[in-house]
Structure 1
Amino acid sequence: MLRPVLAPFFALLLAATQSHAGAWPRAEGETFLSFGGNVALFGEAVRPVYYDPTVYLEYGLTERWTVGIDGFTSDKGTAGSLFVFVRYPLSHPDNPDKLAVSVGTGATLMPNGALEETPRIGLHWGRGFANGWMAADTELTYGLTRGIAQTKIDVTIGYDLNDDWTTVLVSTAGIGLTGDVYVKTSPSLLYHFNDTVSLRMGLVQALSGDFGSGLSLEAWLRF
């Protein structure tokens, strides 16, 4: 039922050149958009690292409510997902440990080309420190057709070297569509052209599967 509506979005993801959920709410009226993927591959890079185009959009609906869209494809375009979500902070604004919950709904692209309706729930933790931050984002999705749950966790460490450069390390582990466990890590540098546009450049290294790697480029826009 969802296929005619979501198919154009998956086509857009395939044409685009990873997840940015977080415990911090987006400021009211502020938009964050990121899109990118791997531009070069090394080794037998198919799973869990391929070109992996992604798109992520957040909008601060109120001071507390953040809404967004999160999508990607992987495994040579034979897998992917597209979600709409809302996120709400659970911690007090003055608490240095930020905690938030998110709920979403969307579809998972299966290897046979079918789209499976998939609800999603997430729990997000973050803490800022001098010139940097740490965050952990966990997700649980449930494929309604297969009746199978999948989990994923992203751990992020960021550090501002100066006003122009930020280092970002993201490590990801999860369960794939076939029940396989995948692990990958991505060290990168983020260059801030101005307050609106940043460019993230990095290496993605698989620690499972075929142990392939890739060079990634990702644009971050705030407006």
Structure 2
Amino acid sequence: MRRLLLSHRALALAMAVLIVLCPGFPGGTGGQATAGPWPREKGHGFLASATQVDAAAFEGPYGVYSTVYLEYGLGRNWTVGMDIGHGISGKHKLIAFLRHPVFQGESGLIAALEIGGGTVAGEPTIRPGFSLGKGLSFTNGRSGWLSLETYGELRLVSRRTDFKADATFGVTHSDRFKTIWQLQGGVSSGDPSFLRLAPSVVVRTGRQSHVELGASADIYGGDRLGLKIGLWRDF
């Protein structure tokens, strides 16, 4: 388990360094930046790394963890990706996934199915997912999006099953500035259910890079507050 944890942290650190030190990545999608049902264009991708600190009291003890998220467009609306960090149960995860839209309506509503596999807490795990999303246009010229992402983590050894849903409302205020409001909920076998609010702001720092500054607060099932800093990179 210790070896697996170290390998996860090493991979997360390496990918975070890649984001910071490689401004010469080619291309750029200009499309939906965050996770959701929207497919990536063929040959284009998105990489995000974040570190969060949280605690139940100002004096600690503190929890510190990092995440890495990767998407890459394969063409024909297929998107492949990697999700490294913490699973629904709070245990370390490494999941590879494949996603494809199953519905695209004239109103802009899109739905996608996803299948993933990897490890959670060192156990072989299957992670199916379903997501909905819709782009928004406002009268003041701003744009935005709504999305709902749902996942189940099915561990093959312990037979433990955990579920999570994230609802997101995002607004693109300008070419350089976004705000995101996310409601995160989950049900974990043997642990209390949780619900938390996680707002953030995203500022463009380069042609293809952004910095995300966020916070989180438990509103059910816990009493922890958190702060997050993240780096986004289109390539």
Higher relative contact order (CA 8 A, sep 6+): 1
| Alignment partner of 1:58 out of 53, 63, 71 | 71
Is the 8 Å Cα contact of residues 196 and 218 (structure 2) preserved in structure 1? Answer: yes
Q: How do 1:43-54 residues align onto structure 2 when only pairs under 5 Å count?
A: 43=57, 50-54=63-67
CA contact (8 A) 1:26 1:63 kept: no
8 Å CA contact 1:85, 1:104 repeated in 2: yes
Query: Residue 215 of structure 2: which of 203, 213, 218 is its match?
Result: 203
Runs of 4+ in 1 over 4 A off after TM superposition: 3-8, 13-17, 39-42, 44-47
Aligned residue number for residue 112 of structure 1: none
Distance 1:210 1:46 in 2: 15
Counterpart amino acid of 2:86?
T
Q: Secondary structure of the residue that 1:53 maps to in structure 2? A: strand
2:124 match = 117
Seen in structure 2, the aligned counterparts of structure 1 residues 202 and 11 have a Cα distance that, compared at 3 Å, is closer
1:73 maps to 2:86: yes
Q: CA deviation at 1:86?
A: 0.2
Instruction: Evaluate the alpha carbon distance shift between residue 208 and residue 137 of structure 1 in structure 2; reply closer, same or farther with a 3 A threshold.
Output: same
Aligned length: 212
Equivalent residue in structure 2 for 1:127, among 101, 126, 134: 134
Query: 3-state DSSP class of the match of 2:9?
Result: helix
User: Contact between 1:103 and 1:122, CA under 8 Å: does it hold in 2?
Assistant: yes
Structure 2 CA distance, aligned partners of 1:93 and 1:30?
A: 24
What residue number does 1:27 align with? 41
TM-score if structure 1 supplies the norm length? 0.84
Structure-2 residue corresponding to 1:10: 8
Answering whether residue 201 of structure 2 is matched by residue 189 of structure 1, we say yes
Would the alpha carbon gap of residues 45 and 116 (structure 1) be closer, same or farther in structure 2, given more than 3 Å must change? farther
Among 141, 161, 172, the alignment partner of 2:153 is 141
Q: What RMSD in Å do the two structures reach over aligned CA positions?
A: 2.9
Structure 2 partner of 1:89:
101
Q: Report if aligned partners of 1:171, 1:184 keep a CA contact under 8 Å in 2.
A: yes
Structure 2 CA distance for partners of 1:151 and 1:80, relative to 1, 3 Å: same
Contact 1:22–1:126 (CA<8 Å) still a contact in 2?
yes
Q: Distance in 1 between matches of 2:13 and 2:79?
A: 27
Please give the per-residue CA displacement for 1:103-139, whole angstroms capped at 9, x wherever unaligned. Answer: 0101111xxxxx1111010001000011100000000
Contact 2:81/2:97 (<8 A) preserved: yes
CA distance 1:11–1:164, shift in 2 (3 Å): closer
Q: Secondary structure at the match of 2:10?
A: helix
Query: Hey, what's the Cα distance between the residues in 1 that align with 2:193 and 2:181?
Result: 20
Q: 1:201 to 1:23 in 2, by over 3 A?
A: same
CA distance in 1, matches of 2:76, 2:87: 34
Counterpart AA for 2:10: L
Check 1:68–1:74 CA distance in 2 against 1; reply closer, same or farther (3 A cut).
Answer: closer
Aligned equivalents of 2:63 and 2:87: distance in 1? 6
User: Structure 1, residues 128-154: CA drift from partner, whole Å, max 9, x if none?
Assistant: 011100000000111111112111001
